[in-house]
Amino acid sequence: MNIDALVFDKDGTLFDFASTWGAFGRIALERLSDGDTKRAAELGQVIGFDYAEERYSPDSIVIAGTVDEIARALTPHLTGIAQHQIVETLNDASAAAEQMPAVPLAPFLENMRKTGLKLGVATNDAEIPALRHLESVGIRGHFDFVAGYDSGHGFKPGPGQLLAFAKHVDVDPSRVAMVGDSLHDLEAGRAAGMVTIGVLTGLATTETLEPLADVVLPDIGHIPGWLSEI
């Protein structure tokens, strides 16, 4: 395997999912329920989120779904609130969520770039919150390409974002590795004809990721060692 580029999922890959998104779920649901905590807990059940524990179920739509998909799931349970308003509320809460890096990101990404690798981000989050998240920890400039579900390339598990990245950096997809924490990420990587790297900083287990991953690593910090061995 010859790898010339890496494209990363964001949530659960660059950033630890559980540490970052528990507060987002609580804040978003409280805003949608006007502070009614009982109602917020009920809405949490709809999207696979335990409001009291600030914890997601492994099959939660929030893990790999787009903001539009989350909003569609909530819309039937929110009388008098249009879907686009739910999307706006979710995006605002997302943009404000404090990001908890899975590893020290700046030195990791600097090292990857020094080896000549092209770097990108493909997320099912919206583009503007994604850019804010990267900027909030000082790493936006390390990436050659950033795409959200609303950037015009489709969203995972489709391969559009990944193929757009490969084209942007002029690297054949077979020489790109998709790095992610969910089956959506790995399915997208397979569909794009890329190498797939699973990481365990989301909610999926090794057993879940192995069927679609060329390798499963504890976190992205183990990628340099793996690359040196292939």
How many Cβ atoms sit within 10 Å of the Cβ of residue 206? 12
- Asked whether residue 23 carries a pLDDT value surpassing 90, the answer given is no
The whole-angstrom separation of Cα 110 and Cα 90 is 32
Question: What are the angstrom distances between the C-alpha of 38 and each of 29, 32, 52, 60?
Answer: 10, 12, 10, 19
Q: What is the mean pLDDT of the chain?
A: 95
pLDDT band at 230 (very low <50, low <70, confident <90, very high): confident
Tell me the pLDDT band of 22, cut-offs 50, 70 and 90.
confident
* Stretch 114-135: mean pLDDT: 95
pTM: 0.87
Q: Report the C-alpha gap between 121 and 6 in whole angstroms.
A: 9
Q: CA-CA distance, 31 to 22, in Å (whole number)?
A: 15
Alpha-carbon dihedral 178, 151, 110, 209, rounded to 10 degrees: -20
State residue 96's pLDDT score: 81
